[in-house]
């Protein structure tokens, strides 16, 4: 079994970000879960949403050592679907019956695949993921970004994707050191 999975969160599955992760996913031979196909409710202080797809999805993700978070960058932040998913992780930290699931995130490695209309991924966007991973006890494995200001042009990113794929394939979760 492959030790890596991707969580895709965008309004368009076949848009720039979808094409980018499909390329990377093919190189890594991994599954890609589209959050738009899941019924995941926003965070609820009363936790009345525990019968949606979030907990079963988390149980599925925990079978993997490496999780790639995939989103376009909108206004210096992730997509709404990704934000809801990340917010729901709080359920795993605060509800006694879910804390064991939350603890299983420790020592997993998180990566980020993103697109935007800038030359680089915005630092505040990246810090959201890095800080979230650190808070959860996850390792940050690295990221790859594509500037799609003039459309999606994979030829521009062959070297970046090859480097990212090699990083994901070679890194062992237990001995990873943070990457930039």
- pLDDT band of 172, cuts 50, 70, 90: low
User: Do 72 and 17 contact (CB within 8 A), yes or no?
Assistant: yes
Residue-level pLDDT at 101: 85
* Buried b or exposed e, range 81-93, using 16+ CB within 10 angstroms: bbbbbbebbebbe
Q: Domain spans of the chain?
A: 4-171
Residue-level pLDDT at 176: 39
User: Do 65 and 28 contact (CB within 8 A), yes or no?
Assistant: no
pTM of the full predicted structure? 0.91
**pLDDT above 70 as % of the chain:** 94
- pLDDT band of 158, cuts 50, 70, 90: very high
180 compared with 80, residue with greater pLDDT:
80
Q: Which two tokens stand for residue 179?
A: 């990457």
Q: Strands (DSSP E) along the chain, which ranges?
A: 4-8, 31-34, 66-72, 109-116, 139-147
Distance between CA 164 and CA 169 in Å, rounded? 9
Q: What is the CA radius of gyration of the chain?
A: 16
Q: In angstroms, what CA-CA distances link 138 with 15, 131, 154?
A: 29, 10, 30
- pLDDT band of 99, cuts 50, 70, 90: confident
Residue-level pLDDT at 1: 60
Smallest CA-to-CA distance from 26 within 38, 34, 18 is with: 18
pLDDT value at 14 more than 50: yes
Q: Please tell me the CATH code under which domain 4-171 is placed.
A: 3.40.50.360
């Amino acid at each position: 079994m492959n030790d890596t999975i991707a969580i895709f969160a965008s309004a368009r599955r076949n848009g720039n970000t979808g094409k980018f992760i499909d390329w990377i996913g093919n190189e890594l031979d991994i599954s890609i879960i589209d959050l738009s196909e899941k019924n995941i409710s926003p965070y609820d202080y009363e936790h009345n949403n525990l019968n949606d797809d979030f907990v079963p999805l988390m149980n599925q993700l925990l079978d993997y050592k490496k999780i790639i978070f995939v989103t376009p960058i909108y206004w210096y932040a992730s997509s709404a679907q990704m934000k809801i998913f990340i917010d729901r992780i709080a359920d795993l930290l605060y509800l006694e019956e879910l804390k064991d699931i939350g603890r299983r995130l420790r020592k997993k490695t998180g990566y980020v695949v993103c697109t935007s209309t800038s030359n680089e991924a915005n630092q505040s966007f990246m810090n959201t993921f890095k800080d979230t991973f650190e808070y959860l006890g996850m390792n940050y494995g690295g990221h790859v970004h594509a500037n799609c200001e003039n459309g999606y042009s994979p030829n521009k990113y062959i070297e970046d994707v090859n480097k990212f794929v090699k990083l994901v394939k070679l890194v062992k979760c237990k001995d990873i050191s943070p990457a930039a």
